[in-house]
Amino acid sequence: MQALAMKGKVYLMGAGPGDTDLLTVKAVRVLRAAEVVLHDDLVSPQILELVPASAQVRNVRKLSLQAGNLQEKIHSLLISAAREGHQVVRLKANEALPSAHVDDETEALAQAGVDFEVIPGAASAMGAAAGANSN
């Protein structure tokens, strides 16, 4: 009898301008439950502090120093981590969702049959602007 595979999921999320107060409640909840996090170079340390210490956290920018196509490596890591049953967060700097890379990532995940969800990380650009003006 073959063991049932654990069901993993990938969350594609924008980190907003880097202020944790501007993240949605759902974004914070997902980050706190993450088991694997693949993040961009410019994601703020404050956002990354929300990730559990037990999670595997990887700066995907460092992958580009190795030979090969960076986006294909990211796709492979997302798919394999989800297939291993992990809750995976692909954390993008700023509020770059949707973007060409997110579209590529959602397409790759869909083709691989991996469950995923796109979550805006910050309430809105207007909320970010309001937060920038508050003291």
Residue of 19, 26, 40, 104 marked catalytic:
40
Q: Give the helix, strand, coil percentages of the chain, each rounded to 5.
A: 40, 20, 35
Residue of 62, 92, 104, 115 marked catalytic:
62
Q: Please say if 19 is a catalytic residue.
A: no
Q: Please say if 62 is a catalytic residue.
A: yes
Asked whether 80 and 113 are in contact (CB, 8 A), the reply is: no
37 φ, ψ (degrees, to nearest 5): -130, 125
Residues identified as active-site:
40, 62
